[in-house]
Structure 1
């Protein structure tokens, strides 16, 4: 469904991705794990069209998206919930969610998806008219994911969705990731919480300094001694 071939990304003199090749099959949860600075977020940003200085190829359902604009990528069915949430603090919860649907004109579908987001995140229904900037960290993360879902994507890219959340909320986030996937959406997940990410992933890649060094099913990597020592606390 989504394929990267020999992807290189540069930030000035920094070579952030060094020939990354990977595949994200339709209907699966694929996770990228690795230390800070390994290139995980750069991979998602490159797919989303937010990085211009890149080489290699990004294809989606056979279509070359390497030089596509972020708007065209969203319209093609790929959306990202960014690290740090990036919600609009001066806008209400409802307004933030509707911005996620900016590329759509199917009113009935938008209304249906809004209801689904409120079912996934009941707190968002309660906070519907509240300004985004007044929400707690966990609520802002819910809003960021909900906003991404409002574009009716085929592929949802989640960048550090559990970052900074309390353990109870972290558990909820990963349950929601499974629910999103069960609805038929493909998920590409970047996550520091390697244990939780591998537990839900059908397939996983380990990035180190811009290079994929290991790959396998989530259960295979969770049992790999090298992964356990480096990311799972031994």
Structure 2
């Protein structure tokens, strides 16, 4: 579904991605694991055209999207749940969800999708008219995921969805990821909780300073001694 070839990204003089190659097959969960600064978020930002690569190619369902506009990438079916949630704090829950459907004009279907989001996240329904900035961290993450789903993506990219959440809420986030996946969604996941990410992923890539150094089925990487030492906090 998504293919990245020889991707290089620079931030000024910093070479953030050094020619990475990876694929995200349809109806799979793929995760990127690595330390802070490894290039994980940069990869998602490059797919979304929030940063432009200096070299390389990104294709989605066979179409070159390397330098497409971000809004057009959303229309093609790729949506990002950004790190830190980035909800619109001064808008209500409902207004945030409607913002997620900015590229759509099928009003009746948008209403149906909002109801589906409320079924998935009942807390959001209870707080429909509340300013999003007054929600708890967990509720804001639910809203960020719900807002992303409002564009009806076929590929959902998630950047650190459990960051800063209490352990019980982390479990809830991973339950939601599994639920979304079970409905036929393809997911590209970055997650600080490498153990949980590799357990849920069909396939994983390990990034170090802009290079992919390991790859394989998620559970195999979770059992890999090198990965355990570096990322899972195990000897």
Q: TM-score, normalised by structure 1?
A: 0.99
Which residue of 1 is the match for residue 197 of structure 2?
197
Shift of 1:233: 1.2
Shift of 1:232: 1.0
Shift of 1:111: 1.8
Query: For the residues of structure 1 that align with 2:52 and 2:21, how far apart are their CA atoms?
Result: 18
Which residue of 2 is the match for residue 120 of structure 1?
120
SS at match of 1:115: helix
Q: Which runs of 5+ in 2 are unaligned?
A: none
SS at match of 1:111: helix
Q: Is the 8 A contact 1:17 1:39 kept in 2?
A: yes
- 1:56 and 2:60 correspond: no
Note the alpha carbon deviations across 1:92-142, whole angstroms, 9 max, x for none. 000001000010112232122111111111110011000011111111111
Query: For the residues of structure 2 that align with 1:54 and 1:185, how far apart are their CA atoms?
Result: 30
Which residue of 2 is the match for residue 232 of structure 1?
232
- Matched length: 234
Q: Is the 8 A contact 1:32 1:206 kept in 2?
A: yes
Which residue of 1 is the match for residue 147 of structure 2?
147
Q: Is the 8 A contact 2:7 2:53 kept in 1?
A: no
Q: Is the 8 A contact 1:46 1:54 kept in 2?
A: no
Q: Which runs of 5+ in 1 are unaligned?
A: none
Query: For the residues of structure 2 that align with 1:198 and 1:90, how far apart are their CA atoms?
Result: 35
- 1:208 and 2:208 correspond: yes
Q: Is the 8 A contact 1:11 1:53 kept in 2?
A: no
Which residue of 1 is the match for residue 66 of structure 2?
66
Moved more, 50-59 or 10-19: 50-59
CA RMSD of aligned residues (A): 0.7
Query: For the residues of structure 2 that align with 1:85 and 1:156, how far apart are their CA atoms?
Result: 14
Q: TM-score, normalised by structure 2?
A: 0.98
Query: For the residues of structure 2 that align with 1:53 and 1:34, how far apart are their CA atoms?
Result: 20
Q: Is the 8 A contact 2:154 2:186 kept in 1?
A: yes
Note the alpha carbon deviations across 1:118-169, whole angstroms, 9 max, x for none. 1111110011000011111111111111100000000000000000000000
Query: For the residues of structure 2 that align with 1:39 and 1:150, how far apart are their CA atoms?
Result: 27
Which residue of 2 is the match for residue 156 of structure 1?
156
- 1:108 and 2:121 correspond: no
SS at match of 1:18: strand
Note the alpha carbon deviations across 1:10-47, whole angstroms, 9 max, x for none. 00000000001000000000000100000000000000
SS at match of 1:151: coil
